[in-house]
Structure 1
Amino acid sequence: MSTSSTSCKIDIGRLEGKENWSTWRCKVLLLLRGTPGGLDAINGNLKPPTHPDAAANPAAMASYQQALQDYNEKDSAAMLILMANMSDVTLQKVMRLTSAKQIWDELHTLFDGTSEDKSYNLCYSFFSYRKDPLHDMSMHISKLKNIWHELKVELQKDEAKYDLPDILIICKILETLPDDS
């Protein structure tokens, strides 16, 4: 496992599809946060420099070349992190794209679904959630809180900015506790 900027592959697991998109996205965001320009690249805040006009002096051209190299290094590092940590099937869906932002947007299109679909699926997951007998209590509550958090975030994206009262998560935790707790 290497963390140097020249070797951006850290084993966070491969993005296979919708089934592991949520956990993969969390891990890759953490990895990108530790990469200079990584988050800026996927969020679209990293922009290529504007090419100077033909009458630009050598100093302006040198400055442009340096800025272009910096942009390419940051965008390439983010692309490498994304592409090196996905399955070949997923890679084939994004390999035509030429920037980290384009790849990130495409992954969201492929695996997040529409906001309405995601809200419905999260709501369904939350209200149908039952404790897995193999999970201890902390894992059970953690999984429920993760679904709850994703649902709240998704509902805040809506124009109406729905806000769920915290009493719902408390009630759900209590409802799913085993009788022997």
Structure 2
Amino acid sequence: MASTTPAPTPVTVTTEESSSLRINKLEGASNWKTWKVLVQDWLNEKDLDTIITSICPVISTSPPVGQDAIDKWDKQNRKVIATLRRNLQETVLTHVIACTTAKEVWDRLSGLYEITDIIELVSIRRLYFSHRMDESTKIEDHLKQMQEWHDKMRSIGTNYATNFDKAITLPSSLPPSWDIFVQTLQSDLNGLSTVGADQASIANSIECKIIAEGQRRQQSSVSNAMYAEKGKFKGKSKNSSGGNKNSSLSQNTKQDGKCNYCKKEGHWEKECRKKKERKRTKRTRRRTLRKWHLQAKKMEDCQHMFLWRLRNMWEQTG
């Protein structure tokens, strides 16, 4: 049995004003986002959030700043620095060990790990907006992947992935076989450009319709497969019942001579099964190619129309 590594135990930080504050130590870019949120919550709760954005005040008369204000700031600054340092791994602590203010510590950590978020954001946005669902992929798996990318971008910044982006990107990510269905979403997409539109509700409506269509297609494919299997079984039973008669008949009616097509003995060219099968295959292939050509042209026209409408919508929304 493979051994499992136990999860690190959160560090408990005790303060004078509260019983305890549980914060996992900052390890680096891997847990920077969650660590930052927890620390900011603690700072806001204790009215210390300005300490990481301000420097030590200077005595002045306008505005009035006295020694009491400086002493208060210094006490709060030391408290925040101590809390931050206690919640850093040693490898991270080395980067801020020489900092003398909480603002220096915070700015140094942000400079080290916020840039990692931006690099990750560029990669995720490229995947999110260019991804195209494969025909063989289940719609539930596709939507799950798109939602994961959407949530990751919002965790970096809520303005990096909006409901408008979701409503536009989900239909665009569907494969060509969905082009006719995408046309049915036109009314929802048009609603995005309406003043005061509830874009979150529109995005959810589009997602629900896509899920319903995916389930309908999945049920239809299962029914078609069952019908084809049933027809195949019937054909086998009929062939097996008359198999002995046909085999005996073919043995009795075997012709003398050699086929000019397949070069085998026992039949002539006009009765050659191989020749007939090849002709049948060619006819089927030609019909299939014509059908594919017509479908491809139809889907191409639909896709051009959809992209044209999307482009107009983007221009109208600015």
| Between 163-172 and 114-123, the greater mean CA deviation after superposition | 163-172
Q: 2:74 maps to what in 1? A: 72
Query: What's the offset of the Cα at 1:64?
Result: 2.5
Partner of 2:167: 167
User: In structure 2, what is the equivalent of residue 131 of structure 1?
Assistant: none
Q: Could you state the TM-score of these two structures normalised by the residue count of structure 2? A: 0.38
Q: TM-score, normalised by structure 1?
A: 0.62
Per the TM alignment, residue 148 of structure 1 is displaced from its structure 2 partner at its CA by: 3.4
Tell me, in whole angstroms, the C-alpha distance in 2 between the residues paired with 1:12 and 1:169: 37
Where structure 2 has 5 or more consecutive residues not aligned to the other structure, the ranges are 1-11, 132-144, 174-203, 219-318
1:150 is matched with: 155
User: Counterpart of 2:109?
Assistant: 107
Greater C-alpha radius of gyration: 2
- Whether contact under 8 Å (1:9, 1:80) holds in the other structure is no
Counterpart of 1:14 (choices 25, 41, 47) is 25
Counterpart of 2:165 in 1: which secondary structure?
Answer: coil
C-alpha separation in 2, matches of 1:99 and 1:18: 22
> Is 2:26 the partner of 1:24?
no
Per-residue CA shift, 1:134-175, capped at 9, x if unaligned? xxxxxx99965641313554749xxxxx99623268679969
Counterpart-to-counterpart distance in 2, 1:8 and 1:86: 21
Cα distance in structure 2, aligned partners of 1:36 and 1:123: 36
- Judging changes above 3 Å, is the alpha-carbon distance between structure 1 residues 90 and 69 closer, same or farther for their aligned structure 2 residues? same
1:21-67 deviation line (CA, Å, top 9, x unaligned):
11111111111111232x1111x2x34221359xxxxxx9xx73211
**Cα distance 1:167–1:28, how it changes in 2: closer, same or farther (>3 A)?**
same
Tell me the secondary structure at the aligned position of residue 94 of structure 1: coil
Instruction: Decide whether the 8 Å contact of 2:13 with 2:23 is kept in 1.
Output: no
Q: Calculate the aligned-residue CA RMSD, in Å.
A: 4.2
Structure with greater helix percent:
2
Which residue type is aligned with residue 150 of structure 1? S
**Any unmatched runs of 5+ in structure 1?**
54-59, 129-139, 157-161
The alpha-carbon distance between structure 1 residues 151 and 4, as it changes in their structure 2 partners (threshold 3 A), is: closer
Query: In the aligned structure 2, how far is the partner of 1:15 from the partner of 1:94?
Result: 12
Bigger relative CO (Cα 8 Å, ≥ 6 apart): 1
Q: Which amino acid aligns with 1:41?
A: I
CA distance in 1, matches of 2:56, 2:68: 11
The number of residues matched between the two structures is: 153
Change in CA separation of 1:100 and 1:121 when aligned onto 2, cut-off 3 Å:
farther
User: What pairs up with 1:55-94 in 2 under 5 angstroms?
Assistant: 64-94=66-96
CA gap of 1:118–1:94, structure 2 versus 1, over 3 A, is same
Q: Is the 8 A contact 1:155 1:163 kept in 2?
A: no
Structure 1 residues 28 and 116: alpha-carbon distance in aligned structure 2, compared to 1, 3 A threshold: closer
